[in-house]
Structures are given as structure tokens and as C-alpha cells.
Structure 1
Amino acid sequence: MPTYLPFDPNPRRPAKTPPPKTVDSQFHVLGPLDKYPIRPGAAYQMPTATWEAALRMHKALGIERGVIVQTTTYGADHAVVLDALAAMGPNYRGCANALVFAEADDAYLVKLHDAGVRGARFSFRQELGAVLSDKDFARAIARIRELGWYAKIQPEKDGIVSSVEKYWSLDVPVLIDHMARPDPVGGKDDPNLRTMLELLSRGNFWVMLSLGEKTSKAGPPYDDVIPIARAYIEAAPDRCVWASDWPHPVSVKQPPNDADLIELMYRYVTDDATLEKILVHNPAKLFGFPA
């Protein structure tokens, strides 16, 4: 199993403090390994990144709310998320891994909901070993509809174009991760960008402005991803959210300081009202935080 690099353990204060009640719409909790062993057949194992370390990062950045997203590392066993939600309190929500619909019973789904889970993340990346069959996917979406959750889509390595037909017609709220993984070199003609913009026109699709540092082909300060984010914000300012993706899983290069990433978000917008909408009001609506 490859070795991946850990997060920066010394997050600095960003140049500008984010608005009160800012939400980090995706971060992960991993380990410690002796308490939370990875599932058999997991595609990767990350360095330990506990909820305590996540909370230190959020406090350093001035972030008050967040969403803990279950990784494929643990699959249907959500003990790490449940324990983190209990410890971190009401300012945090959870997002399940979709394997839970195939491997756990309804009582477990209710337990997740009661703990603060409000969505489930689906992957179509075969190499991660966490892909539902078509039958299980349909059953999962039906249960999401009943629970009032949102569906979250992890793009393929080359974007969403190859899998979009699987969720194109969904009628539940759908959040697409990582800006749909477009290629900045393609500019406005990149097929993933164009597809994401088309999804945003449907009204129930959302986009997560995250992974700019890995999407960029130019490297720091990641100028080439700014037009992508701005295209989404212009298309659907009420359905864009932001996330750190801490602790930056499967990083083969040293992840940036997390303050760099929220400062990159600041560069996506041109006014404070839009910034507050993306960091505070939009995620509060999608994830069920008090207004």
C-alpha cells in the first residue's frame, strides 16, 4: 500500500478571518489505527488525523462548523464518525459512505441520522472498492429520499463525464465534490466544467469548491482554478459550498497549509456578501445547520 503525506500540523491564521458560522463542508477523521482499523481490502491507509487535530485546524482558521465525511477506508463501519460527532458537538454534521446502504440495516441508518448524518457519499471509482451495484444504488437513493438526506458524488480521477448518467436524473439534492475535477487547461470547453454547469442549471445540484490545489496544473498560488470556481459561482451562487478536504487524502505531494486553501476561496469571489453566502448560508441550508 503506498505511503501518503500527512497534513500540515501547524495551520496558520488566515489573512482574513472567515465570517461567523463558516462551514467546512468536507473533512475526514482517520484513526488512531488501533481504535479504528481500516476495512479489509481498503484501497489506501492514511496517516492518523483525529477529530482533535481537525478541531485545532478549524479553530486556527476561524471555522465554527463542519461536515465529517466518512472515507472509503472504513466503508460501512462509521464508528470513527459517530465518535467524532459525539465529541465535537452540535456544530458538526456527518456524511456517510454509501456502502452503509448495502451492508447495514435500517436501524443503523437511523442511528447515523440521530447522530447528525445528513447525506451519503457515492463513488464510482472502481479502484476504491466502494461502488454500489445499480440495484443497491437505486435502493440507496430511495432511502435518502425518505431520510431527507442529500447525495454526494465523488468524481472519477478524470472528472464526472464518465459516470454522470448514473445520477443525472436524480430528484434529491446532489452535491458534486471537488468542482467536478475539470482540467484547467481545457478552459471553458473542458467537458467536466460544461457538464457541471449543465447540472447546476437543473436546480437540485450543488458543487463543492474544493481540491483547487490538486486540480491546478500551474501550482501555487493556483491561479488557473479561479476561472473554474467563478464560473460555478456565477451560474449558481446559492448552491456553491466550500471545503478544506482535510487531511487531504492520498496526497503524494506535501499538502498546503490549510490557511492557504481558505485564502484561495477568498480569491474566487469579488464581494463579501457572496463569500458569506458560500461559507455560511448555503451549507447551513444543505446540511441542516440552524440559520
Structure 2
Amino acid sequence: MADYFPFDPDPRPASRMPPPGATDCQFHVFGPAEIYPVRPGAAYEMPQATIGRALAMHEVLGIERGVIVQPTTYGTDHSALLDALAEAGPAYRGCVIAAALTECPDAELERLTKAGVRGARFNFLGAVNLAPDEKMIGRAFARARELGWHVKIQPGQEGILDSVALYENADLTVVIDHMGRPDLRQPGHQATEEKVVELLRKGNFWVLLSNGHKISQAGFPWHDVLPVARAYIEAAPDRVLWASDWPHPLSKTQPPNDGALLDLLFRYAGDEETVRRILVDNPARLIGFDQA
């Protein structure tokens, strides 16, 4: 397995504190390995990043709510996710991998829902070796709809255009991760951004403003991703979310401090009303924090 860089162990606050109820809509937990072993055949293994370290980072940044997303590293073994949800408490929710919808029995899916799971993630990133096909997506979407879950799309390395035909006509709530992953190295990257905007205008699609630092080709402070994020905010200000994506899986260079990533969101938003929508109001409506 390749070695990937760990998160910055010394989180620093952003330039200002976010509003009360601010939400990190995607982060992951890994380890300890002796308690939560990696599944056989996993494509990658991350340095240890426990729920305790995640919550400590959130406290520094002023994040009060979050969504713990199951990594493909653990497959459909939900031990680490369930334990993390129990430790984090009622202000946190969960999201499993898509395979849970087709491989887990109804009793397990009901247990996950009771524990706070509200979504399933479909991963088209080749590095994780669990990409769904059309038949699997049809069955999984139907089950997600029955459970009242949303679905999330992890785009492939080239963005969403290669896979979007599989889900663009979905009749349930769909969240596009990582800004659709436009490749800013390519002169045709606008096609990905335009497709995300088209999806947002359908009304049931959302987008996650995450991994801007990885999408950027300019480097810190990532000016070149601002127009992308702002186009999405303009298209659907009530269906845009933010996430740290801590501990930044598959990072081939040292990830930035998480306070800098929250500052990037402040720059995307531009004003306090938009910040509140993205960090508080939108995730509360999508994930159900109002009922917590």
C-alpha cells in the first residue's frame, strides 16, 4: 500500500469563529488498528486518526456538528463508525459506503439509522476499488429512498462526467462531493463545473465545498478555486455544504491546517449570511439536525 501524509496534528483556529451550529459535513475516522482492522483487499490504509482527535480539531475550529463518513478501508464493518457516533454524541451523524445498501441485512440498516446514519456514499475513485455499477446503483438508490437516506457521489479522478449518466436522473437527494472534482489543469474543466451547476438546478442535488486545496493548481491560498465555489453558491445557495474531509485521505503532500480550510470557506462565501447558510442552515435541513 502507498504511504499517505497524515493530518496536521496541531489544529489552529481560522481567522474568526464560525456561527453556532457550524457543521463539518464530511470527515473520517481511522484506527486504532488493533481495534478496527483494515478489511482484506483494502486499497489504502491511513495513519491513525481517531474520533477523539477529530473532535479536538472541531473544538479548536468552533465546529459543533458533523457527519462521520465510513471510509472504504473498513468496507461494511461499521464498528469504528458506530463507536465514533456513540462517542461524538447526538450532534453527529453518519454516512456509510454504498455497498451497505445492497450487502447488509435490513436489521443492520435499521441499526445504522437508529445510530444516526443518514446517507450512503458511492465511490467512483479508482484508487479505492469499490466503484459501483449501474445495476448496483439502481438497487441501492431504491433502498436509500426507503430508508429516507440521501446518497453521496465521490467523483472519479477526472471529475463527474464519466459517471454522471448513472445518477443525474435520480429521484432522491444526491450530494456531489469535492465540488465535482474539476481538473483545473485541463482547458475543458469548465464542462465539469457547468454540469454541477446543471445538476444543482434540478432541485434535488447538493454540492460539497471540500478539497479545494487539492483541486487548486495555484497552491496556497488557492485563489483559482474561488470562481468554482462561487458559481455553485450562486446556482443553489440553499444546497451548498462544507467539509474538512479530515484527515484528508490519499494526500500525496502534507495536508494544510484545518483552520486554513475553514478560512477558504469564508472566502468562498463572502458574507456572514452565506457562511451561516453553508455551515448551519443547509446541513441542518439535509441531515436532520433540527430534530436532534
Q: CA deviation at 1:127?
A: 3.6
Q: CA deviation at 1:13?
A: 1.6
1:216 corresponds to which residue?
216
TM-score, normalised with respect to structure 2:
0.97
2:72 corresponds to which residue?
72
Task: Tell me the SS of whatever aligns to 1:170.
Answer: coil
Amino acid at match of 1:214: K
Amino acid at match of 1:280: V
How many residues are paired up?
A: 291
Q: CA deviation at 1:188?
A: 8.6
Deviates more, 1:24-33 or 1:187-196: 187-196
1:19 corresponds to which residue?
19
Amino acid at match of 1:256: P
Structure 1 unaligned segments of length 5 or more: list them. none
Q: CA deviation at 1:148?
A: 0.8
1:157 corresponds to which residue?
157
Residues 181-218 of structure 1: CA distance to partner in whole angstroms, max 9, x if unpaired? 01235679621101101101100000000000100000
Task: Tell me the SS of whatever aligns to 1:67.
Answer: strand
Q: What is the CA–CA distance in structure 2 between the aligned matches of 1:83 and 1:130, rounded to whole Å?
A: 24
Question: Over aligned residue pairs, what C-alpha RMSD do you find?
Answer: 1.3
* Dislocated runs of 4+, deviation >6 Å: none
Map 1:14-93 → 2, pairs under 5 A: 14-93=14-93
Map 1:86-105 → 2, pairs under 5 A: 86-105=86-105
Residues 19-51 of structure 1: CA distance to partner in whole angstroms, max 9, x if unpaired? 100000000001111100111110100000000
Structure 2 unaligned segments of length 5 or more: list them. none
Residues 55-109 of structure 1: CA distance to partner in whole angstroms, max 9, x if unpaired? 0000000000000000110111111110000111000000011111232111100
Deviates more, 1:254-263 or 1:190-199: 190-199
Task: Using the aligned pairs only, state the percent identity.
Answer: 56
Amino acid at match of 1:212: G
Q: What is the CA–CA distance in structure 1 between the aligned matches of 2:264 and 2:223, rounded to whole Å?
A: 9
Q: What is the CA–CA distance in structure 1 between the aligned matches of 2:68 and 2:104, rounded to whole Å?
A: 19
Q: What is the CA–CA distance in structure 2 between the aligned matches of 1:126 and 1:229, rounded to whole Å?
A: 25
Q: What is the CA–CA distance in structure 2 between the aligned matches of 1:242 and 1:251, rounded to whole Å?
A: 19
1:282 corresponds to which residue?
282
Check conservation: 1:188, 1:194, Cα contact below 8 A: no
1:199 corresponds to which residue?
199
Q: What is the CA–CA distance in structure 2 between the aligned matches of 1:186 and 1:193, rounded to whole Å?
A: 12
Amino acid at match of 2:289: F
Q: What is the CA–CA distance in structure 2 between the aligned matches of 1:192 and 1:175, rounded to whole Å?
A: 15
Task: Tell me the SS of whatever aligns to 2:100.
Answer: helix
Check conservation: 2:151, 2:175, Cα contact below 8 A: yes
Structure-2 change in CA distance of 1:225 and 1:252 (3 Å): same
Task: Tell me the SS of whatever aligns to 1:11.
Answer: coil
Q: What is the CA–CA distance in structure 1 between the aligned matches of 2:162 and 2:281, rounded to whole Å?
A: 31
Amino acid at match of 1:193: E
Residues 242-262 of structure 1: CA distance to partner in whole angstroms, max 9, x if unpaired? 000000001110000000000
Q: CA deviation at 1:128?
A: 1.5
Check conservation: 2:183, 2:189, Cα contact below 8 A: no
Q: What is the CA–CA distance in structure 2 between the aligned matches of 1:134 and 1:164, rounded to whole Å?
A: 11
Check conservation: 1:152, 1:177, Cα contact below 8 A: yes
